Chains A and B, each alone.
Chain A
Amino acid sequence: MNEPLCDIESEIRQAVGDAAAGKRPVWIRGGDSKQFFGRIASGAALETGAHRGVLEYEPSELVLTARCGTPLVEVETVLAGEGQMLAFEPPYFGPSATLGGTIACGLSGPRRAYAGAARDFVLGTRIINGKAEILSFGGQVMKNVAGYDISRLMVGALGTLGVILEVSLKVLPKPAAERTLIQECSDQDALASCNQWTAQALPISATCFYEDKLYLRLAGTEETLNQAQQRIGGEILDAGDSFWEDLREHRHPFLSAAGILWRLSVAPGSPILPLQGKWLLEWGGAQRWLRTDIPADEVRREAAAVGGHAQQFRGGDRQGDVFHPLAREVAAIHERLKIAFDPQHIFNPGRMYKTI
Chain B
Amino acid sequence: MNPTTTPQGATPVDKPTLVKILRGVLGPDSVLYKQEELRVYECDGLSAYRELPLLVVLPETTTQVESVLRLCHEKGVPVVARGAGTGLSGGALPLANGVLLSLAKFNRILDVDPKNRCARVQPGVPNLAISEAAAPHGLYYAPDPSSQIACSIGGYVAENAGGVHCLKYGLTVHNLLSMEIITVDGRHLCIGAQGLDNPGYDLMALLTGSEGLLGVIVEVTVKLLPRPDCVRVLLAAFDCVEDAGNAVANIIAAGIIPAGLEMMDNPAIRAAEDFVHAGYPVDAAAILLCELDGSDSEVNHETTKVERILKASGASRVRTAKNDEERKRFWAGRKAAFPAMGRIAPDYYCMDGTIPRKHLAKVLRNISELSRQYGLPVANVFHAGDGNLHPLILYDANQSGQLQQAEQLGGKILELCVSVGGTITGEHGVGIEKINQMCVQFNEQELTQFHAVKSAFDPLGLLNPGKAIPTLRRCAEFGAMHVHGGKLPFPELERF
Contacts and interface: CB of A to CB of B under 8 A. Distances in A.
B195 A268 contact: yes
A120 B197 CA distance: 11
B468 A147 contact: yes
A324 interface: yes
Interface in A150-168: 150, 152-153, 155-157, 161
A259 interface: no
B115 interface: yes
B170 A120 contact: yes
Interface in A314-356: 323-327, 329-337, 339-341, 352-353
A198 B226 contact: yes
B452 A340 contact: yes
A60 B250 contact: yes
Contacts of B468: 147
A201 interface: yes
Nearest to B168: A172
Interface string B335-355: 000000000000000000011
B388 A119 contact: no
Nearest to B442: A147
Contact of A309 (B199, B294, B355, B386): B199
A149 B250 CA distance: 30
Contact of A143 (B171, B198, B208, B256): B171
A135 B174 contact: no
B193 to A, nearest CB: 6
A12 interface: no
Contacts of B469: 147-148
Contacts of A283: 196
B197 A117 contact: yes
A345 B138 CA distance: 49
Interface string B245-268: 000011011011100000000000
B83 interface: no
A306 B64 CA distance: 28
A195 B115 contact: yes
B203 A330 contact: yes
Given A2-B484, A60-B253, A147-B442, A116 B1 contact: no
B430 A147 contact: yes
Interface string A111-139: 01100110110000000010101011101
B253 A329 contact: no
A35 interface: no
A62 interface: yes
Contact of A269 (B115, B454, B483, B486): B115
Interface string B207-219: 0111000100000
B295 A220 contact: yes
Interface residues of A, number: 88
B456 A333 contact: yes
Contacts of A94: none
A201 B168 CA distance: 14
Contact of A201 (B205, B253, B295, B387): B295
Contacts of B170: 116, 120
Contact of B423 (A141, A157, A172, A268): A141
Interface string A289-305: 00000000000000000
Contacts of A220: 294-295, 298
B185 to A, nearest CB: 10
Interface stretch (B26-34, B121-129, B158-166, B397-405): B158-166
A341 B452 contact: yes
A296 B339 CA distance: 58
A345 to B, nearest CB: 12
Contacts of B174: 116, 120
Interface stretch (A23-31, A221-229, A248-256): A221-229
A126 to B, nearest CB: 10
A223 B300 CA distance: 11
Interface string B454-485: 11110000000000110000000000000111
B314 interface: no
B200 A352 contact: yes
Nearest to A227: B297
B319 interface: no
Interface string A35-66: 00000000000000000000000111111000
Contacts of A70: none
B441 interface: yes
A83 B428 contact: no
B279 interface: no
Contacts, number: 271
Nearest to B424: A146
A286 interface: yes
Contacts of A6: none
A198 B193 contact: no
A326 B200 contact: yes
A196 B101 CA distance: 41
A122 to B, nearest CB: 9
Contact of B173 (A136, A152, A173): A152
A243 B387 CA distance: 38
Interface string A268-300: 111000000000000100110000000000000
Given A59-B253, A62-B252, A224-B295, A286 B205 contact: no
B187 A329 contact: yes
A156 B210 CA distance: 20
Contacts of A188: none
B469 to A, nearest CB: 7
A239 interface: no
A340 B257 contact: no
Interface string B398-425: 0000000000000000000000011111
A220 to B, nearest CB: 6
Contact of B201 (A153, A268, A332): A153
Contacts of A242: none
A174 interface: yes
Contacts of B178: 307
Given A143-B171, A145-B159, A287 B196 contact: yes
B450 A60 contact: no
B386 A267 contact: no
A203 B299 CA distance: 13
A265 interface: yes
A170 to B, nearest CB: 9
Contact of B456 (A119, A129, A145, A339): A339
Given A195-B115, A221-B298, A145 B429 contact: yes
A242 B193 CA distance: 31
B193 A265 contact: yes
A288 B78 CA distance: 45
26 contacts: A2-B486, A60-B253, A106-B197, A133-B445, A141-B354, A141-B386, A141-B388, A144-B425, A146-B423, A147-B442, A150-B206, A156-B201, A201-B294, A203-B298, A223-B297, A223-B301, A227-B297, A265-B195, A269-B113, A270-B116, A307-B178, A308-B193, A309-B199, A331-B200, A340-B452, A341-B452
Interface of B: 1, 3, 113-118, 137-139, 159-162, 166-167, 170-171, 173-174, 178, 183, 187-191, 193-203, 205-206, 208-210, 214, 225-229, 249-250, 252-253, 255-257, 294-295, 297-298, 301, 354-358, 383, 385-388, 421-430, 434, 438, 441-442, 445-446, 449-450, 452-457, 468-469, 483-486
